[in-house]
Amino acid sequence: MKDRESRESSRRFGGVPALASLLGALGTAPAAGRQPPPAPDPAAPLVQTTVAAAPNPDGTFRVTYQIPLPARTLLAARPMLRVLNAKGELAGLLGLRVTQRGPVLWAGHGDFRLPKNEPGEFQVRVEVVYERPDGSRGLVAVGKPLSRPGRR
């Protein structure tokens, strides 16, 4: 009797493959061929940035950053600013000024210009190379959008 109920249940619900597919669709099981995202790196610093929405009087935009460092994590290089245009092409690369350097918090800023006569959307990213306690290195990049209206 139990085998018969089991077969009928299997026919009604499509059997084990259908159940696995349903669980995958609900997000309770990874879909076939997909890997779960990697776990966050506990040594990665949390980069906080702000980008001015409007240019300074000299036409530059100011970006500021703060980088609280987890215990035993070091910055391996000076933070960099990368500006990408709407096509993903490099529009600017700049080393950022460090105004506070310490074992727990780094902070600073940089002023950059957008390419002349290029209206559109830009991605402004602060990139930080850090050194983990085991000596290996990692990269954190935090981006913010920036729009330049077209000329009239």
pLDDT in tens, 93-130: 999 999 999 888 999 999 998 877 677 899 999 999 99
Question: What are the CA-CA distances from residue 139 to residues 44, 53, 60, 104, 132 (Å)?
Answer: 8, 26, 26, 18, 10
Which pLDDT does position 148 carry in this prediction?
A: 78
Which pLDDT does position 37 carry in this prediction?
A: 75
pLDDT in tens, 35-84: 777 778 888 899 999 999 888 898 889 999 999 999 889 999 999 999 99
Domain annotation for the chain: domains and CATH numbers: 1-37 (no CATH), 48-148 (2.60.40.1930)
Mean per-residue pLDDT, 12-37: 50
